[in-house]
């Protein structure tokens, strides 16, 4: 391992580029994103992390079981070990690391479906010509596929199911902190607008036995919510409402939670969704809008949101936002800020109706 002494905890690719390299050469470090995602995808597609769940195995053995070419498989496994999700324990034998557990099927905390979604060819295409977005401001996805992302999903059920499964695992760093810090028990009835299969509503209800709620999403998405509610043991307190949130959001809830959804849309479209939420709130002064999304930092500060913002631009024509942008959007729909979270991470922004 190379690098400064305080890098001693850093392993795999992260430790690879010596800090003493001339700055211009360290730019090459940015290329590893393609190499590592590219190599990990077949490893995950072949289910190697699941096959290693019981302990280390040789590349030859794994190739026999998966019907892969032994040499080519060894080389992607060796690359996976270089990323830190596998460890080469003996010559041509591999074990899962703690990080690699995240690529197993059906284990708590797995992000396997998120990985398969993020590395899917559908999600690479917009990046083949991001310049289109930069020149026009329009999503490169629409240019590549001739339709919007959500129209594409509606026409391709396999891709839609992949997306919905990935969203069930949509636990970016910061999500748990939000659930731990925010007191959802202030509310009896919670609506999760654009809540996918109800994964986060289920989480809130499981943590707060006094709450009931509804997940409001497209019909084909909420059709899967019942199973998620049953899996989490909250089916008696949760309902699924099929809706187009540009047309209407159900009335009668104390809190309207909307997570990782407004960033999918331009200010114009996000404003339409918030206006529907404001209509649903009506004259209830104590009802609250709870937005969970990135809260961008100012110029020069490190922020993962500044990277995910590009995904929003390329795929959906959406954007990540700073406090001023969120407040402006909320104000236009009739909401005023009711809390002041720190920027630089996922945040829960609370707004009250005005």
Ligand X SMILES: C[S@@+](CC[C@H](N)C(=O)[O-])C[C@H]1O[C@@H](n2cnc3c(N)ncnc32)[C@H](O)[C@@H]1O
C-alpha 19: how far from chain center: 30
> Cβ closer to ligand X: 170 or 266?
170
Part of the chain binding ligand X (CB under 6 A), chosen from 48-56, 91-99, 228-236, 241-249: 241-249
Q: Map tokens 């949130």 to a residue.
A: 245
Q: Tell me how far apart the alpha carbons of residues 176 and 164 are, in angstroms, rounded to a whole number.
A: 20
- Give min distance, CB of 149 to ligand X, in A: 9
Question: Which one of 261, 326, 346, 348 is in contact with ligand X (CB under 6 A)?
Answer: 261
Please give the helix or strand (H or E) that residue 93 lies within, else none: strand 93-96
23: how many CB neighbours lie within 10 A of its CB?
Answer: 7
Q: Binding string, 271-310, against ligand X, x = CB under 6 A?
A: ----------------------------------------
β-strand partners of 351: 289, 337
Active site residues: 263
- Give min distance, CB of 246 to ligand X, in A: 5
CB 107 within 8 A of CB 101: yes
Q: Tell me how far apart the alpha carbons of residues 297 and 312 are, in angstroms, rounded to a whole number.
A: 17
Q: Is 170 in the site for ligand X (CB under 6 A)?
A: yes
- Give min distance, CB of 326 to ligand X, in A: 16
> Cβ closer to ligand X: 94 or 326?
326
> Cβ closer to ligand X: 95 or 160?
160
Q: Is 312 in the site for ligand X (CB under 6 A)?
A: no
Part of the chain binding ligand X (CB under 6 A), chosen from 95-103, 176-184, 238-246, 307-315: 238-246
* Interface with ligand X: number of residues (CB under 6 A): 18
Token reading at 234: 């909250």
> Cβ closer to ligand X: 74 or 141?
141
Q: Is 246 in the site for ligand X (CB under 6 A)?
A: yes
Q: How would DSSP label each residue in 96-162?
A: E-TGGGGGSSS-TT--HHHHHHHTSHHHHHHHHTHHHHHHHSS-HHHHHHSS-HHHHHHH-HHHHHH
> Cβ closer to ligand X: 12 or 102?
102
Part of the chain binding ligand X (CB under 6 A), chosen from 101-109, 257-265, 283-291, 337-345: 257-265
By CB under 6 A, what part of segment 180-219 binds ligand X? 194-196, 200, 217-218
Q: Tell me how far apart the alpha carbons of residues 248 and 94 are, in angstroms, rounded to a whole number.
A: 52
CB 318 within 8 A of CB 306: no
β-strand partners of 241: 216
C-alpha distance across the termini of the chain, in Å: 57
Q: Tell me how far apart the alpha carbons of residues 317 and 311 are, in angstroms, rounded to a whole number.
A: 9
Planar angle of CA 154, 159, 161, nearest 5 degrees: 85
- Give min distance, CB of 4 to ligand X, in A: 37
Question: Which one of 57, 152, 237, 260 is in contact with ligand X (CB under 6 A)?
Answer: 260
- Give min distance, CB of 157 to ligand X, in A: 13
Instruction: Tell me which residue of 239, 279, 238, 245 sits closest to 259, measured CA to CA.
Output: 245
> Cβ closer to ligand X: 25 or 248?
248
> Cβ closer to ligand X: 132 or 197?
197
- Give min distance, CB of 166 to ligand X, in A: 8
Q: Is 221 in the site for ligand X (CB under 6 A)?
A: yes
Token reading at 4: 């400064």
Part of the chain binding ligand X (CB under 6 A), chosen from 2-10, 109-117, 237-245, 305-313: 237-245
> Where along the sequence are the contacts to ligand X (CB under 6 A)?
150, 167, 170, 194-196, 200, 217-218, 221, 243-246, 259-261, 264
């Amino acid at each position: 391992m190379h690098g400064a002494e305080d890098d001693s905890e850093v392993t795999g690719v992260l430790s690879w580029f010596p800090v003493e390299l001339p700055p211009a050469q360290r730019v090459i470090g940015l290329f590893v994103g393609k190499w590592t995602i590219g190599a990990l995808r077949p490893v995950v597609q072949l289910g190697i992390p699941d096959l290693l769940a019981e302990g280390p195995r040789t590349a030859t053995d794994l190739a026999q079981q998966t019907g892969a070419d032994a040499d080519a498989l060894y080389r992607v496994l060796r690359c996976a070990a270089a990323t830190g999700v596998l460890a080469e324990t003996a010559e041509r034998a591999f074990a899962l690391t703690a990080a690699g557990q995240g690529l197993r099927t059906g284990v708590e905390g797995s992000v396997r479906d998120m990985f398969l979604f993020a590395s899917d060819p559908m999600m690479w295409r917009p990046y083949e010509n991001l310049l289109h977005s930069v020149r026009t401001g329009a999503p490169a996805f629409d240019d590549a596929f001739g339709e919007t992302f959500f129209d594409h999903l509606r026409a391709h059920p396999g891709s839609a199911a992949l997306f919905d499964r990935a969203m069930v695992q949509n636990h970016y760093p910061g999500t748990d902190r939000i659930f731990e810090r925010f007191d959802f028990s202030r509310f009896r009835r919670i609506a999760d607008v654009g809540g996918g299969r109800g994964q986060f509503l289920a989480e809130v209800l499981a943590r707060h036995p006094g709450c009931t709620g509804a997940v409001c999403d497209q019909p084909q998405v909420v059709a899967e919510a019942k199973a998620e509610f049953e899996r989490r043991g909250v089916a008696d307190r949760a309902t699924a409402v099929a809706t187009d949130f540009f047309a209407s959001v159900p009335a009668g809830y104390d809190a309207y939670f909307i997570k990782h959804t407004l960033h999918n849309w331009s200010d114009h479209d996000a404003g339409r969704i918030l206006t529907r939420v404001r209509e649903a709130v009506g004259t209830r002064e104590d009802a609250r809008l709870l937005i969970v999304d990135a809260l961008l930092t100012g110029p020069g500060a490190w922020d993962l949101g500044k990277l995910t913002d590009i995904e929003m631009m390329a795929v959906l024509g959406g954007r990540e936002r700073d406090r001023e942008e969120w407040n402006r959007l909320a104000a236009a729909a009739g909401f005023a800020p009711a809390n002041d979270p720190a920027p630089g991470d996922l945040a829960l922004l609370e707004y009250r109706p005005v």
